[in-house]
Amino acid sequence: MKKGNMLIAQSGGPSMVINQSLVGAVLAARENKAVGKIYGALHGIQGILDEKFIDLKKESRSTLEAVANTPASALGSVRRKPTPEDCQAIFKVLKKLEIRYFFYIGGNDSAETVHIINEAAQKAAYGIRCFHIPKTIDNDLRENDHTPGYGSAARFVACAIKGDDLDNRALGGVKIDIIMGRNAGFLTAAAALARNEEDDGPHLIYLPERPFTIEGFVKDVQAAMKKYGRCVIAVSEGIADKDGTPILAKYTKEVDSHGNVQLSGTGALGDLLAGIVKEKAGIKRVRADTFGYLQRSFPGIASSSDAMEARLVGVAAVQAAVCDDILSGSIAIKRKATKRYAVDFEVVPLRNVAKETRHVPDEFINKAGNNVTQAFIDYARPLVGALPKCERFAQLKK
Amino acid sequence: MKKGNMLIAQSGGPSMVINQSLVGAVLAARENKAVGKIYGALHGIQGILDEKFIDLKKESRSTLEAVANTPASALGSVRRKPTPEDCQAIFKVLKKLEIRYFFYIGGNDSAETVHIINEAAQKAAYGIRCFHIPKTIDNDLRENDHTPGYGSAARFVACAIKGDDLDNRALGGVKIDIIMGRNAGFLTAAAALARNEEDDGPHLIYLPERPFTIEGFVKDVQAAMKKYGRCVIAVSEGIADKDGTPILAKYTKEVDSHGNVQLSGTGALGDLLAGIVKEKAGIKRVRADTFGYLQRSFPGIASSSDAMEARLVGVAAVQAAVCDDILSGSIAIKRKATKRYAVDFEVVPLRNVAKETRHVPDEFINKAGNNVTQAFIDYARPLVGALPKCERFAQLKK
């Protein structure tokens, strides 16, 4: 085993457990003789380009453990896709620092970044081992049963909907909640975990995997109001029409360097849908909330299995990188075919994970396209864990 | 002590601990020989008018305890101010049910309702004891050091801002968070509890107690960006100009029966301010979230002192009502002048609490009107309790 230095960085949207992966990798590397120095680049590849690093061998064990339990990206993050010129500049820095192990924690855009750097490194015959460590609250990485960060964000969503459903039960009317998920509806689907009784909300769930029509939406809301006397609705921020045009697309302008439209950090979609329900369904009390960045950053409520798995993918990445026969890859979470929930970690090729999005499979969505199935609940429950117990009076149960 | 039946109901916006007050009152009444039947009216005075009740002696102790720990109003709520005709109809029902003890849990609008019913009852020489049990996340009841519901909502806000500040630290730019509080800024002020280090957000806090100007706001944001390289801002939904006109007022139409404009359940104010920062301060990455109904309904994170005090105001109301010398009133929380945080409960006249709003006192707001003082932190900290620990790398501390 040839000894070399290591560089690790975080990229894309933060999560509640991305620091678990960082700390898992750092602690595994600190214990491994193949790893020399451990550089933490600040704000992803931007920190490599700007040569802004911290020394991750210097931080105390107790600081590392406290950081692991802290939401968001402790090294800072970035949304930047490297150009060919960036790659050249990055190699220059990596060579200077004698980096042999490069780890990048993030989603599919980040996996693409690792893939680009790895391809360029091979072309330049620069001996570096490039690994992607998965992270995304969207749960949309291919090759993975689920991704670190999803379980905790899903837990936030399920708790929020549970409370919001109780609030709606008390005051009535229609409540629309907009949930993150640009292309994949996994996080929105997690709203269903809030239900205990048959008449609990969310009563309607709309994912980007099914075309959204205003007419169908209004009809659904009217039917739910008739049945339940109130209606709680979980809507993905990424809902789109049959041509794939996001419902909100015309209301926003900002686009990031990966070509993505800004959907989060605005209440526009919720207000748009609330206006439609008021006008077209003739319902007076209609409210909309957009859960926004709290879904990925709220402290103290992470799913414990998610936190543990996030830690372990970091460890697995270092273990794979120091193996003589694995030169690059992405760590993927595979669910075991056991009755009791359990997972394995595997190394998969970077190109299998890069860029492309995994969608909510058909068997998780109901026929009408306005709810999820029991198969989804069975899939998601162990990732999220038990929710706080909520109860109503026995005389008010249906 | 003359024996009589009891009626209890919940009104106004729910909170995380309003069911603690309900259960506190019910358990105290169940143990008291002066109380016969215990009616729970559904959806406040609406349930009295519609004669929709449940029997609160029938519910098991374990159900009551589970309900106490459940957010939102378990009996349902209403926003309705009784007309003189309503009062006549209410008396008719109360007489029929031989109600001697009437308890109404809610905020200042609810206290006003109790006051109106009590005045009308006295006029009609109908012997009933009317008590208001305080509840409001806004913390704006006069006579009270603080109100049940505030500590838990403030805890949600402080946690949310803490996570959001970490998120903003990772990705940069300006983040605007809109926080509930129509006329009083106590809940928005609680954002300050998120800070540990000097450069932690929120960097700016705007309350309805100080006139808001676009020019001052833009200047403040530019100064914060210069100082911190990023900016997290907590804004009350109720911010208004120097004439008292809410900044959002012209963007919304809905008004409830107490004459209040709808400020929550829409992302319009956040989007408005984000647009201004982008345009006038020339900052590219600007995001806005509106915390919305999650602030009052999120399960599993209630402040433990808030939950306990909410329970005890319910108990105190029943204890006061069965006394021969107290015929009506509102329970108020008074803070003891001890070094260690402690409170007393007192009965105060209904008219002292009804309708009027308590505002954030001057000594809690900084001179520039864009932050809170240490005096506010000292006031609010014991109500909210310790927050989840968040940490950053030692090398990244300023």
For chain A, say whether B30 makes contact (Cβ under 8 Å).
no
Specify the pLDDT at position A54: 98
Specify the pLDDT at position A253: 47
**Residue burial B174-184, b: 16+ Cβ < 10 Å; e: rest:** bbbbbbbbbbb
At B96-151, the pLDDT tens digits run: 999 999 999 999 889 999 999 999 889 888 889 999 999 999 999 999 999 999 99
Window A:269-298, CB contacts with B under 8 Å? 270-271, 274, 286-294, 296-298
Q: Which phi and psi (to 5°) does residue B98 adopt?
A: 55, 50
For chain A, say whether B162 makes contact (Cβ under 8 Å).
yes
DSSP B290: E
Specify the pLDDT at position B262: 54
- Give the 3-state secondary structure of residue B22: helix
CA–CA gap between residue A165 and residue A224 (Å, rounded): 14
- Secondary structure element (H or E) that encloses residue A56, with its range: none
Specify the pLDDT at position B258: 53
| Residues A392, B10: C-beta atoms closer than 8 Å | no
Nearest to A169 among B72, B175, B267 (CB): B72
Q: What is the mean pLDDT of residues A251-258?
A: 49
Beta bridge partners of B174: B231, B286
pLDDT at B35 exceeding the cut of 60: yes
Confidence of residue A379 (pLDDT cuts 50, 70, 90): very high
Region of A369 (left: φ > 0; alpha: ψ -120 to 50; beta: rest) is left
DSSP A82: P
Q: How many residues does chain B have?
A: 398
Helices and strands counted in chain A (H then E): 13, 11
- CB neighbours of A270 closer than 8 A, spacing ≥ 6? A176, A177, A178, A235, A288, A289, A290, B266, B267
Q: How far does A360 lie from chain B, in Å, by closest CA?
A: 26
Query: Could you tell me if B136 and B106 are in contact, meaning their C-beta atoms sit under 8 angstroms apart?
Result: yes
Active site residues of B: 138
Specify the pLDDT at position B145: 98
- Beta-strand pair A53-55/A35-41: antiparallel
| Residues A393, B164: C-beta atoms closer than 8 Å | no
Confidence of residue B271 (pLDDT cuts 50, 70, 90): confident
| Residues A288, B265: C-beta atoms closer than 8 Å | yes
SS3 content of chain B, % helix, strand, coil (to 5): 40, 20, 40
Instruction: For residue B388, list chain A residues with Cβ-Cβ distance below 8 A.
Output: 69, 299-300
Instruction: For residue B270, list chain A residues with Cβ-Cβ distance below 8 A.
Output: 266-267
Tokens of B338: 């001890």
Instruction: For residue A159, list chain B residues with Cβ-Cβ distance below 8 A.
Output: 298-300
pLDDT at A232 exceeding the cut of 60: yes
A121 against B210, higher pLDDT:
B210
Nearest to B164 among A170, A288, A294 (CB): A294
Lowest mean pLDDT among A138-152, B252-266, B320-334: B252-266
- What ipTM, to 2 d.p.? 0.95
B250 against A234, higher pLDDT:
A234
Query: Could you tell me if A86 and A21 are in contact, meaning their C-beta atoms sit under 8 angstroms apart?
Result: no
pLDDT at B251 exceeding the cut of 70: no
pLDDT at B266 exceeding the cut of 90: no
CA–CA gap between residue A59 and residue A52 (Å, rounded): 16
Which of A138, A140, A164, A306 does the annotation list as catalytic?
A: A138
Rg (alpha carbons) of chain A, rounded to whole number? 22
Q: Which phi and psi (to 5°) does residue B205 adopt?
A: -135, 125
Q: Order of strands across the sheet with A204-206?
A: A204-206, A230-236, A173-179, A286-290
CA–CA gap between residue B367 and residue A379 (Å, rounded): 54
Domains of chain B in start order, with CATH, are 4-148+301-353 (3.40.50.450), 154-298+359-396 (3.40.50.460)
pTM value > 0.90: yes
pLDDT over 70 percentage in chain A: 95
For chain A, say whether B133 makes contact (Cβ under 8 Å).
no
| Residues A166, B71: C-beta atoms closer than 8 Å | yes
Instruction: For residue A300, list chain B residues with Cβ-Cβ distance below 8 A.
Output: 159, 301, 387-388
Specify the pLDDT at position A250: 52
Query: Could you tell me if A235 and A179 are in contact, meaning their C-beta atoms sit under 8 angstroms apart?
Result: yes
Active site residue A344: no
Lowest mean pLDDT among A196-200, A275-279, B138-142, B233-237: A275-279
pLDDT at A355 exceeding the cut of 90: no
CA–CA gap between residue A243 and residue A224 (Å, rounded): 27
DSSP H helices in chain A: 18-30, 45-49, 61-68, 84-96, 108-123, 150-171, 186-189, 214-228, 268-280, 294-297, 304-321, 350-353, 374-384
Specify the pLDDT at position B256: 47
Name residue A51's amino acid: E
Tokens of B232: 């997290």
Query: Could you tell me if A177 and A291 are in contact, meaning their C-beta atoms sit under 8 angstroms apart?
Result: yes
CA–CA gap between residue A175 and residue A185 (Å, rounded): 19
pLDDT at A82 exceeding the cut of 50: yes
Specify the pLDDT at position A254: 47
Nearest to A66 among B43, B66, B391 (CB): B391
B397 against A23, higher pLDDT:
A23
B107 against B254, higher pLDDT:
B107
Average pLDDT, chain A: 93
Helices and strands counted in chain B (H then E): 13, 11
> How far lies A47's CA from each of A43, A53, B119, B249, in Å?
5, 7, 69, 44
At A303-328, the pLDDT tens digits run: 999 999 999 999 999 999 999 888 99
Give residue for tokens 């739910």. Answer: A224
